[in-house]
Amino acid sequence: MDLPFAKRISKIKSGNESGKYILYWMQGAFRCHHNHSLEFSIWLANQTKKPLLVLAVVDPSFPKANFRSYKFFLEGLKDVMVDLSQRNIAFQIEVGDFLKIVPKYAESASFLIVDKAYLPNLRRIRRNIYERVGSTIFEVDTNLLVPVDVASDRKEPAARTIRPKILRLSEAFLNDFEWFEYEGPRIEVDDRMNLQNVETALNDLQVEYVPPCSMVGGHSEAMKKLERFIEEKFHSYAKFRNDPNLDVESKLSAYLHFGHISTQEILKRLKQTDDVENYEAFFEQLVIRRELAHNFAYHVEDLEDLYSLIPSWAVKTLAQHVEDEREYLYELEQFEKAQTHDEVWNSAQRQLLETGKIHNYLRMYWGKKIIEWTSSPKKAYQIMVYLNDKYALDGRDPNGYVGILWCFGLHDRPFRERKIFGKVRYMGLGKIKRR
């Protein structure tokens, strides 16, 4: 059997294929558009003449998830519910522990299909589940343009090393998509979660309260954002993307994080503009930088210990400067409440608290200053991860950990030595003020 999008699919194990349905556990690509996992599941259901069941598990104990991120996530699930229903496909939403729920549903399935994960904690959860499942299992890499295993088999040290590998394959992967019409019946499911009213569903979950942001989740909202970006900002992306005053950004990162929109769909739409200069500038961020971050997350086993994650030159130089005097010293609470002496930094932090997002250029400044005003790099790393994961709608993502680690020298090079940072790149207010 020739599988569609075969290069995106890995067979995790062969098992008992006598179950009564095909199970797609949607965990990572919460959308019905340009979702290779979904299309592959439909294809398999048609081939085997078994019905398809799509399962989403809302696990309230999911690490660092809170009211803000759950609201966005559930809004995305609402779109999935509508889209699957239009394609006559059953969608089961369950609330509870992944480790219990997925194996329970997989018990009666002939095949389990899962979105590929990149972060160490999500890979661990999958491995744990796979041990408890007896059916045949496939993983599908649908959230990257070039599948992480195909792009490279090692942890890439920098954008310059992964760029040629991705560029060589990008055209072929841009076009590897096929849509299949589901031919099977719709299985009856229980309505465990009423998504008509997301607020009520959220209150029932009883997760940590972080005030929600105005940005609404889901594929349909992501498409509106993309169209607005093309209309108003895309034409000046290459020139002005680093200017925080002009706000020339797509604001798609949270949608990408939850898999509400695919890289492939964004790129295909941008190609239609025939604006090569801005397409290439956007490609550099969306594909090269983002897929470098995913390559990193995929090749590490945890993201806890700063010094095991950054290059040795950066560990050495930061350690040599750990005793340097800091002109300002703040604790987590002062950072969190935007109570530093620096109004630019405070306004970036307030933006994070209120909107769930900081402009990319300011985000670098935000991170670099936390290093400068904290007693040690390890503590600075913990503070940054805590704030980013709690408040950023696009947090808890490979891009987030790598963006933070970049502030400590990851995927960067040594610069002229100075206080606190040693040879790690420094950022001052100068450029920001000029802008």
Ligand X SMILES: Cc1cc2nc3c(=O)[nH]c(=O)nc-3n(C[C@H](O)[C@H](O)[C@H](O)COP(=O)(O)OP(=O)(O)OC[C@H]3O[C@@H](n4cnc5c(N)ncnc54)[C@H](O)[C@@H]3O)c2cc1C
Measure the N-to-C terminal CA separation of the chain; round to a whole number of Å.
57
Would you count residue 360 as binding ligand X (CB under 6 A)? Answer: yes
The answer to the question of residue 217 lying near ligand X (CB under 6 A) is no
Among 218, 36, 215, smallest CA distance to 138 is for 36
The one segment of 125-133, 272-280, 288-296, 372-380 that binds ligand X by CB under 6 A: 288-296
What's the closest the beta carbon of residue 98 comes to ligand X, in angstroms?
22
Asked if 68 is part of the footprint of ligand X (rule: CB under 6 A), the reply reads no
Q: How far apart are CA 430 and CA 419, in angstroms?
A: 17
218 or 400: CB nearest ligand X: 400
286 near ligand X, rule: CB under 6 A? yes
d(CA 111, CA 186): 17
The stretch near ligand X (CB under 6 A) out of 87-95, 200-208, 305-313, 362-370 is 362-370
Q: Which residues pair with 58 in a beta bridge?
A: 95
Q: Binding ligand X by CB under 6 A: which of 364, 371, 380, 427?
A: 364
CB burial readout 271-294, b (16+ within 10 A) else e: eeeebeebbebbbebbbbbbbbbb
Sequence-distant (≥ 6) Cβ neighbours of residue 235 within 8 angstroms: 275, 278
User: What are the structure tokens assigned to 102, written together?
Assistant: 């997925």
Query: Could you say whether residue 293 binds ligand X (CB under 6 A)?
Result: yes
Near ligand X by CB under 6 A, which window of 2-10, 15-23, 252-260, 337-345? 252-260
Backbone angles phi, psi at 355, to 5 degrees: -110, -10
Per this entry, what is the length of the chain?
435
Q: Should residue 249 be labelled a site residue for ligand X when binding is judged by CB under 6 A? A: yes
Of 36 and 357, CB closest to ligand X: 357
Q: Is 156 one of the binding residues for ligand X (CB under 6 A)?
A: no
Instruction: Give the DSSP letter of residue 7.
Output: G
CB-based contact 169:51 (threshold 8 Å): no
Structural contact between residues 177 and 39, judged by C-beta atoms closer than 8 angstroms: yes
- Binding residue for ligand X, selected from 10, 48, 285, 334, defined by CB under 6 A: 285
Q: Restricting to residues 376-415, name those near ligand X by CB under 6 A.
A: 388, 392, 394-395, 397, 399-400, 403-404, 406-407
- Size of interface with ligand X, in residues (CB under 6 A): 28
Cα angle value 305/307/310 (rounded, 5°): 110
**Is residue 363 a contact point for ligand X (CB under 6 A)?**
yes
Among 110, 170, 253, 264, binds ligand X (CB under 6 A): 253
Shortest distance, position 275 Cβ to ligand X, whole Å: 15
Least Cβ distance, residue 87 to ligand X (angstroms): 27
> Does 250 sit near ligand X (CB under 6 A)?
yes
331 φ/ψ sector (left φ>0, alpha ψ -120 to 50, else beta): beta
The answer to whether residue 28 forms part of the interface with ligand X (CB under 6 A) is no
Q: Which residues contribute to the site for ligand X (CB under 6 A)? A: 241, 249-253, 256-257, 285-286, 289-290, 293, 360, 363-364, 367, 388, 392, 394-395, 397, 399-400, 403-404, 406-407
